[in-house]
Amino acid sequence: MTHEFGLRVYYEDTDLAGIVYYANYLRFIERARTEWVRTLGIDQGRLKAEQGIVFAVRRVEADYLRPARFDDELTVITRPQAATGARMVLEQDVMRAGERLFAAVVTLVCLTETGQPARIPAELRRRMEPAVH
């Protein structure tokens, strides 16, 4: 299952040259992951409050391929790749009119509120598994 999230580059996202500051791509893909999880019917705030678990980024492999600029319309494409008991791997691309600007492989882990590893609850895995190829 592929998820698409659209956004526009604002002035605050850029450096003096009008190019998106490199760290902001991580913010863009974070927003897209949050919306992807929401489309699966998962309320992360409720998950933390009721079950005491959260998802955290464990690893990011990032390739900056081309610059995005002020006022560009971008699309973040999220594709789940693999899932285990306590972790999930996603591929995320930032696109502009079909051109790939940024590519990342993101590993998420499930943690307790104290930072200890936790298994992804069965109900959440059932919701996520159809999305994983």
Helix residue spans in the chain (DSSP H): 24-39, 44-51, 122-128
Catalytic residues: 15
Q: How far apart are CA 39 and CA 26, in angstroms?
A: 20
CB 53, CB 118: distance < 8 Å: yes
What letter would DSSP give residue 116?
-
Cα first-last separation, the chain: 8
